[in-house]
């Protein structure tokens, strides 16, 4: 790794400039523009790309040059010209979409009454000339912007030519060589005292000492070793922790051989074999040219040895097949060791640990140091061994605490800055250090980690700086925003933008740039955080002009996030109108507020019609606070259907979203995600073939709301709730939904209302036609009154459903459903009018959770035999005999449930049924999860009873 102080010259403005210029966005822009303007961009790119690479190579090295102000001005103009060209192309695409939608409507209208044909052509003629004129003007503007970009690149290269280019280029290249080389080689011995890692060390040592079942050392099936890994960003203390573990193991003598090998980014297999040989024998390895001979010698030395091997600083790229194969070659001779041997790996990415054979639970993220411990660490580097009187030491420690706050918990930064403080022990110097930009002086390791990310991944990470520190990020939300911003770079036809961005996200997680937040309760959703130190790096990489410009210049902004889910501030109608009229280049708009303005109807939020002017908008979120969302209705104007680029609509906890006119939403042909917790009035969605997320669809007896609207929406994934199935009249109509073709669905809920519009026989036929996709994981059937269950439940339907809920269903499942339920882990029977429970329960050998609730007609005197796999049983019934038998020790029913970890029993009127710990809880976390699940289920059921009664009234 390059020395951080030496590498610091590549940080700051130069890093920001080089990082952006080096990205492929300029090449992509010229390719898209050439397609529109009708010229071949290949020759132009051949001419420009070497110049762009030159800018990348020297930008970081001109940080302190007198020419920097001029270069900075040119760089600013280059970005401005690029963004303007990109927006022109976006306008062109808008016109193309508008014309396509007009043509499609015209075709459908022509198929209708001929008397309307004349007025349709008249309407198209009125709107077309302006659009053609704008499109023509766009060509002229775009050509000029491309010429401007080319001119700025050439001017920048001329400035660089006047500078001492060779020395600058060479200096920068030396940094790259340093970053890519093995750098300073680590050893198993720590440099100095280690502070604050004892708990982490204990955890890893415990893993290294775990006993496992292994095959014989010479077998090819099971390796004699297992892998434990530590991952985290550069400079976070991975190697130091591994050194502490190594020192502990040498003292404990649990392993009869402890080896340390520093791998680094550019390693040679033969060289590592030689290092392992020397570590195993304590003698020099002969210089052998034949790898097979070298491997044989190493295997001989390791044969029968119970070893611990530390592989420090392993770099891994899943796309580099050659490197991946070389990593596997490193492990080959280790198979000669004794069963129970261990490998401890440190890496910046979790992918490296997994590739070497570590399991998920043995991939340990390096933990952040407590603030007080971190301050002690800094003071150790700064004051250790220094003769200073108590008064001076107290003054220095007070200043040191302020310095520690600026280092954001980085052990590497503590070592670098502490070393500087150690040199001069006077308060004046320490205060000068405190007042410096310590971020630039300690960012080197992180900069090199960032340098090795893919260009588009860098851009995605830089974007994260717009969020506040410690902001909780959700994976799907961030991915959708990146897609809306245009960060996805698809490399093959048919590749989905979100899939590409999910890959970017996983790269950042693997490299520890994004870290999973510790959950406060077991059922909390997964959230990700940016470490404070990395947040500062992201800010340096992000286009800060978008954040810091004055209000009067905000017309160029592309992303705007207002408020938070917990904000109590209101956003008024006039504020929204101002935003929509002035910020015409917005691509992402997120408004989270305690209230979204008050209208004549207190619970209605009428979005201003001028939102239709935001032609570039791709991601829109209106999220009233949870406590304000109940009963809230958002009304979208007819102009909303002009937002042809729209990809994601997120309405949070809003209960209802409607359109103010009968306009179809089908013109939003790029719409991919509709996110809400209530009901969105979506009409004629059959042409939204890009739609991936739509939690609910309400069937109605009106044109545009038929079940067949779902037929071609085969990209739907995740969860889908189909309501109003009592309005469907036949199996044929059910088949028109084509649910089997929606392979990405994992959760499906099918609901019949209580209106009695469909007879039981019709309901059975409709359910027969609603065959789900084969990979469905969760199925919920509500209000089904049919006399039989569909044939696809035991033949031709999904085979691996692990969660089944039957709610308010009249028919008891028979033994024919045993195959459908073979992989079932959770079964809920809620409000069903059954007189008995299924008698084949003991055959459901994967079942862990069983909830039987509010089934008032059950008259059985005993429980069926339950499988031994059960962990959680919840029974609510008015059958007092059954309740009593379940609570009576030694009763046959008690015997059937005594092996279950958590049992909750009560009658239908109990608010808190009695809970019993029937078995020995082996896993406290599992017991906690079950208890919390019961709490959340209780809340959910109360909400469900309320919503179903409302649905019945509607």
Question: What are the C-alpha distances in Å from 178 to residues 99, 171, 175?
Answer: 54, 11, 5
Q: At 427, is the pLDDT very low, low, confident or very high (cuts 50, 70, 90)?
A: confident
Edge-to-edge order in the sheet of strand 307-314: 257-264, 307-314, 341-347, 225-231, 363-365
Given a cut of 70, whether residue 425 has pLDDT beyond it is yes
Q: Which of 14-28, 432-446, 523-537 has the lowest mean pLDDT?
A: 14-28
pLDDT tens digits, one per residue of 915-952:
554 443 444 455 555 555 554 444 444 344 334 333 33
- β pairing state of 619-624 and 307-314: unpaired
- β pairing state of 515-516 and 528-529: antiparallel
CB 353 within 8 Å of CB 318: no
Q: At 911, is the pLDDT very low, low, confident or very high (cuts 50, 70, 90)?
A: low
Look at the block and give the residue holding tokens 């080959």. 332
pLDDT in the model for residue 676: 83
Q: Chain-wide mean pLDDT for the chain?
A: 78
DSSP state letter for 336: G
C-alpha triplet 387, 393, 437: angle, nearest 5°: 110
Cβ neighbors of 627 (< 8 A, separation 6 or more) are: none
Cβ neighbors of 664 (< 8 A, separation 6 or more) are: 641, 683, 684, 704
Burial (Cβ within 10 Å: 0-12, 13-18, ≥19) of residue 899:
middle
Given a cut of 60, whether residue 725 has pLDDT beyond it is yes
**Which two structure tokens, joined as six digits, stand for 540?**
């340096």
- Give a three-class secondary structure readout of 499-562: HHHHHHHHHHHHCCCCEECCCCCCCCCCCEECCHHHHHHHHHHCCCHHHHCCHHHHHHCCEEEE
CB count within 10 Å of CB 116 equals: 12
**Residues facing 225 on adjacent strands:** 341
Question: What are the C-alpha distances in Å from 380 to residues 4, 417, 728?
Answer: 20, 11, 74
pLDDT tens digits, one per residue of 273-301:
888 888 888 888 887 778 888 888 889 88
CB 54 within 8 Å of CB 157: yes
Q: At 223, is the pLDDT very low, low, confident or very high (cuts 50, 70, 90)?
A: confident
Question: What are the C-alpha distances in Å from 603 to residues 176, 409, 569?
Answer: 59, 46, 16
pLDDT in the model for residue 910: 62
Closest residue by Cα to residue 102 from 78, 76, 79, 120:
120
Q: Which of 669-673, 875-879, 885-889, 928-932 has the lowest mean pLDDT?
A: 928-932
CB count within 10 Å of CB 133 equals: 10
pLDDT in the model for residue 484: 92
Cβ neighbors of 905 (< 8 A, separation 6 or more) are: 874, 875, 883, 886, 887, 913, 914, 916
- β pairing state of 604-606 and 559-562: unpaired
DSSP state letter for 283: S
pLDDT tens digits, one per residue of 807-826:
999 887 777 676 788 889 99
pLDDT in the model for residue 553: 57
Given a cut of 50, whether residue 953 has pLDDT beyond it is no
**Which two structure tokens, joined as six digits, stand for 469?**
């520190």
Cα separation, 901 vs 919, whole angstroms: 5
**Which two structure tokens, joined as six digits, stand for 640?**
């909303």
pLDDT tens digits, one per residue of 47-57:
777 777 777 66
Q: Which of 228-237, 400-409, 532-541 has the lowest mean pLDDT?
A: 532-541
- Give a three-class secondary structure readout of 866-877: CCCCCCEEEEEC
Q: At 434, is the pLDDT very low, low, confident or very high (cuts 50, 70, 90)?
A: confident
Cα separation, 478 vs 474, whole angstroms: 6
pTM, full prediction: 0.71
pLDDT tens digits, one per residue of 493-528:
778 889 999 989 988 887 778 878 777 666 678 888
CB 417 within 8 Å of CB 438: yes
pLDDT tens digits, one per residue of 594-653:
555 555 455 677 889 999 999 999 999 988 765 555 667 788 898 998 999 999 999 887
Cα dihedral sign, 27-32-37-38: positive
**Which two structure tokens, joined as six digits, stand for 177?**
């060589």
pLDDT in the model for residue 132: 44
pLDDT tens digits, one per residue of 726-777:
999 999 999 999 999 999 999 999 999 887 788 999 999 999 999 999 999 9
Mean pLDDT of the region 480-489: 90
Closest residue by Cα to residue 452 from 211, 234, 293:
234
More confident site: 366 or 938 = 366
Closest residue by Cα to residue 366 from 356, 353, 375:
353
DSSP state letter for 605: E
pLDDT tens digits, one per residue of 297-349:
889 889 989 999 999 988 887 777 777 788 888 888 888 889 999 999 999 88
CB 744 within 8 Å of CB 717: yes
Mean pLDDT of the region 237-260: 89
DSSP state letter for 598: -
Cα separation, 353 vs 228, whole angstroms: 8
């Amino acid at each position: 790794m390059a020395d951080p102080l030496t590498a610091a010259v590549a940080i700051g403005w130069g890093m920001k400039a080089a990082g952006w210029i080096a990205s492929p966005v300029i090449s992509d822009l010229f390719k898209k523009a050439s397609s529109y303007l009708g010229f071949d961009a290949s020759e132009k790119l051949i001419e420009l790309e070497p110049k762009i690479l030159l800018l990348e190579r020297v930008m970081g090295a001109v940080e302190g040059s007198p020419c920097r102000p001029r270069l900075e001005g040119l760089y600013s103009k280059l970005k401005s010209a690029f963004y303007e060209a990109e927006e022109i192309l976006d306008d062109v695409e808008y016109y193309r979409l508008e014309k396509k939608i007009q043509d499609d409507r015209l075709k459908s209208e022509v198929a209708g009454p001929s008397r309307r044909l004349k007025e349709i052509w008249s309407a198209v003629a009125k709107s077309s000339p302006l659009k053609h004129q704008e499109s023509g003007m766009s060509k002229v503007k775009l050509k000029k912007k491309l010429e401007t970009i080319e001119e700025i690149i050439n001017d920048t290269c001329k400035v660089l030519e006047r500078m001492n280019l060779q020395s600058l280029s060479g200096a920068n290249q030396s940094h790259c060589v340093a970053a890519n080389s093995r750098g300073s080689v680590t050893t198993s011995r720590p440099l100095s005292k280690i502070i604050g890692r004892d708990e982490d060390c204990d955890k890893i040592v415990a893993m290294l000492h775990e006993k496992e079942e292994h095959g014989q050392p010479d077998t090819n099936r099971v390796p004699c070793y297992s892998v434990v890994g530590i991952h985290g960003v550069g400079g976070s203390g991975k190697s130091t922790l591994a050194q502490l573990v190594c020192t502990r193991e040498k003292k404990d003598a649990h392993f009869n051989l402890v080896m340390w090998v520093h791998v680094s980014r550019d390693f040679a297999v033969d060289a590592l074999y030689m290092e392992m040989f020397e570590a195993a024998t304590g003698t020099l390895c002969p210089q052998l040219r034949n790898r097979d001979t070298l491997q044989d010698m190493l295997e001989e030395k390791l044969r029968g040895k119970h070893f611990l091997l530390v592989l420090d600083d392993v770099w891994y790229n899943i796309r580099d097949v050659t490197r991946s194969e070389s990593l596997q070659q490193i492990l080959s001779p280790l198979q000669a060791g004794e069963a129970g041997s261990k490998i401890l790996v440190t890496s910046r990415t979790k992918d490296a640990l997994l590739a070497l054979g570590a399991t998920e639970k043995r991939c340990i993220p390096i933990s952040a140091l407590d603030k007080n411990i971190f301050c002690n660490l800094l003071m150790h580097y700064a004051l250790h061994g220094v003769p200073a009187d108590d008064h001076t030491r107290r003054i220095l420690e007070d200043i040191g605490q302020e310095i520690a706050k600026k280092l954001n918990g980085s052990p590497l930064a503590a070592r670098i800055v502490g070393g500087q403080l150690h040199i001069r022990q006077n308060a004046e110097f320490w205060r000068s250090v405190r007042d410096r930009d310590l971020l630039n002086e300690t960012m080197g390791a992180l900069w090199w980690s960032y340098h090795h990310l893919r260009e588009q991944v860098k851009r995605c990470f830089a974007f994260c700086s717009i969020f506040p520190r410690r902001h909780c990020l959700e994976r799907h939300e961030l991915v959708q925003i990146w897609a809306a911003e245009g960060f996805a770079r698809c490399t093959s036809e048919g590749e989905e933008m979100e899939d590409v961005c999910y890959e970017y996200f996983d790269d950042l997680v693997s490299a520890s740039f994004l870290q999973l937040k510790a959950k406060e309760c077991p059922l909390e959703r997964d959230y990700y955080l940016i470490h404070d130190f990395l947040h500062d790096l992201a800010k340096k990489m992000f286009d800060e002009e978008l954040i810091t410009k004055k209000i009067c210049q905000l017309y160029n902004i592309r992303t705007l996030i207002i408020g938070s889910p917990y904000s109590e501030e209101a956003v008024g109608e006039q504020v929204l109108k101002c935003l929509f009229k002035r910020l015409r280049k917005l691509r992402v708009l997120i408004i989270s507020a305690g209230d979204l303005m008050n209208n004549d109807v207190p619970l209605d939020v009428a979005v201003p019609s001028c939102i239709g002017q935001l032609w570039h908008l791709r991601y829109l979120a209106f999220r009233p606070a949870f406590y304000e969302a109940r009963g809230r209705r958002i009304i979208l104007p007819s102009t909303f259907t002009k937002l042809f680029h729209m990809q994601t609509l997120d309405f949070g906890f809003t209960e209802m979203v409607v359109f103010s006119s009968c306009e179809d939403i089908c013109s939003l042909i790029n719409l991919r995600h509709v996110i809400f917790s209530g009901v969105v009035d979506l009409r004629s969605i059959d042409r939204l073939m890009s739609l991936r997320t739509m939690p609910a669809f309400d069937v109605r007896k009106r044109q545009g709301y038929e079940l067949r609207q779902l037929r071609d929406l085969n990209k739907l994934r995740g969860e889908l709730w189909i309501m109003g199935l009592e309005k469907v009249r036949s199996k044929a109509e059910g088949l028109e939904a084509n649910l089997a073709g929606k392979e990405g669905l994992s959760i499906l809920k099918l609901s019949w209302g209580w209106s009695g519009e469909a007879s039981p026989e019709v309901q059975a036929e409709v359910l027969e036609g609603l065959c789900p996709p084969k990979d469905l994981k969760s199925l919920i059937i509500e209000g089904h009154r049919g006399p039989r269950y569909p044939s696809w439940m035991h033949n031709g339907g999904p085979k691996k459903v692990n969660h089944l809920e039957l709610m308010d269903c009249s028919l008891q499942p028979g033994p024919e459903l045993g195959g459908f339920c073979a992989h079932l882990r959770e079964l809920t029977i809620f409000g069903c009018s059954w007189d008995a429970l299924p008698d084949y329960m003991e055959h459901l050998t994967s079942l862990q959770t069983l909830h039987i609730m509010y089934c008032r007609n059950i008259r059985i005197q005993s429980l069926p035999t339950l499988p031994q796999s059960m962990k959680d049983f919840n029974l609510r019934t008015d059958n007092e005999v059954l309740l009593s038998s379940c609570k009576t020790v030694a009763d046959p029913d008690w015997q059937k449930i005594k092996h279950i970890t958590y049992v909750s029993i009560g009658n239908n009127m109990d608010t808190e049924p009695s809970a019993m710990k029937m078995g020995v809880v082996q896993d406290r976390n599992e017991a906690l999860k079950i208890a919390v699940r019961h709490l959340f289920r209780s809340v959910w059921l109360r909400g469900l009873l309320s919503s179903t009664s409302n649905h019945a009234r509607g």
